[in-house]
Amino acid sequence: MTAVGAILGDALGDPKTWGLDAAAAAAFLGLLWPRIQSRQPVAVAAVAAVVTVFALPTLPPGIPILVAAATGLVFALVAERAKS
């Protein structure tokens, strides 16, 4: 899988464009994904990922991850409140 990652890594584009924030968040999600067991955490992760992708080109480094974390937190709280 390391060789596949090395070969396909060039297809993702320049890391400077996406920044290390996105790579760290993607790695964290990759580690966390097997532990996610219900729909709500999957939805929170998906919403946070979409927010990050749209925020990366427009915000300075570091800020998209903070915005995605805040969005994920709000989404999770709203979903939890609607559930109870």
How far is the C-alpha of 61 from the C-alpha of 70, rounded, in Å?
16
pLDDT above 80 (res 1): no
Examine residue 9 and state whether it is found in any structural domain, yes or no.
no
Examine residue 59 and state whether it is found in any structural domain, yes or no.
yes
pLDDT at position 15 is 64
Examine residue 3 and state whether it is found in any structural domain, yes or no.
no
pLDDT at position 4 is 75
Structure tokens at 19: 């920044």
pLDDT level of residue 72 (50, 70, 90 thresholds): confident
Q: How many domains does the chain have?
A: 1
Expressed as residue numbers, the domain containing 71 is: 15-83
pTM tops 0.75: no
Examine residue 10 and state whether it is found in any structural domain, yes or no.
no
Examine residue 32 and state whether it is found in any structural domain, yes or no.
yes
Examine residue 7 and state whether it is found in any structural domain, yes or no.
no
Examine residue 38 and state whether it is found in any structural domain, yes or no.
yes
The 3-class secondary structure across 9-35, one letter per residue, is HHHHCCHHHHHHHHHHHHHHHHHHHHH
Examine residue 4 and state whether it is found in any structural domain, yes or no.
no
pLDDT digits (tens, 9 = 90+) for 8-56: 766 766 666 666 666 776 777 788 778 778 887 888 888 888 888 888 8
